[in-house]
Amino acid sequence: MLMCLSCKILFTDVPTVPSMASNDEEIRRIIHATFSNSETSSLPHDELIRIWTLDMQWMDPAMASQIIDSLCQTGWLHNYQGKLTPNPNIVPIQPLFGWRPIIRSLISPPVLDSYPVDRTMADVSEGDSMPQIEVVSNQKYPPDWAEASIKPMIAWISEQSGLSGKEVVRRAQRKRRALGPVTLWMALSLVAREQGLNMSKIAELIGDPN
């Protein structure tokens, strides 16, 4: 059945419109990946394009600009004096590890006012998020053995890549926001790999837990 549906989408001459539910969820995922844990909860238009294109490498700048305009026109994002913020009525969905947005679900988003978020589903999502926070902060877990490597990693990546230390941290935080529950040293490792640096040196800086 799934193969038949895929063939229909690929080969039919009549365009197949993705369901509103799938579009809704994909938009809520990209909003979570972009704005969750943001210090200001708003981003300049150019900065958002940069995150989606350069930091996350999800799409090209023209596509990013088109999607941002569509999300603003349909009420998912608010644009105030060039600063973009998500609609406060949205309940973001945390994407799974390694998630990438489905572009076709973002190009033609549903009008948010016409499709309000299901409050029952929102309440369940909010309720489910609380135990996750409690588990992460549970004192029975030992401290991260690689935590001491973070500052040396930032300094080395900055020196080898030519990026400022602040920029290295910013890129690592973007990756944490997109990927979900990953440690800072893991996100820094991904930044190093993205810059084409020697990963053996990164492993040396992280050290051996034993």
Q: Is the pLDDT confidence value at 165 over 90?
A: no
> Which of 7, 36, 15 lies closest to 180, judged by CA?
36
Question: In terms of pLDDT, which residue wins out, 24 or 7?
Answer: 24
Q: Are the C-beta atoms of residues 21 and 91 closer than 8 Å to each other? A: no
User: In angstroms, rounded to a whole number, what is the distance separating the alpha carbons of residues 209 and 186?
Assistant: 14
User: In angstroms, rounded to a whole number, what is the distance separating the alpha carbons of residues 121 and 119?
Assistant: 5
User: In angstroms, rounded to a whole number, what is the distance separating the alpha carbons of residues 3 and 171?
Assistant: 38
Q: Are the C-beta atoms of residues 36 and 94 closer than 8 Å to each other? A: yes
Question: In terms of pLDDT, which residue wins out, 121 or 205?
Answer: 205
- 207 sits in the region (left: phi over 0; alpha: psi -120 to 50; else beta) called left
CATH number of 16-117: 1.10.10
User: In angstroms, rounded to a whole number, what is the distance separating the alpha carbons of residues 100 and 95?
Assistant: 9
Give the global pTM: 0.50
Angle at 162 between CA 208 and CA 188, to 5 degrees: 35
Mean pLDDT of 142-167: 81
User: In angstroms, rounded to a whole number, what is the distance separating the alpha carbons of residues 180 and 13?
Assistant: 38
Lowest mean per-residue pLDDT among 25-34, 51-60, 121-130, 139-148? 121-130
- For the stretch 29-44, pLDDT in tens is 999 888 875 545 788 8
Residues in the chain: 210
Q: Residue ranges per domain, the chain?
A: 16-117, 147-206
- For the stretch 46-70, pLDDT in tens is 989 988 988 888 999 999 999 999 9
The pLDDT assigned to 209 comes to: 61
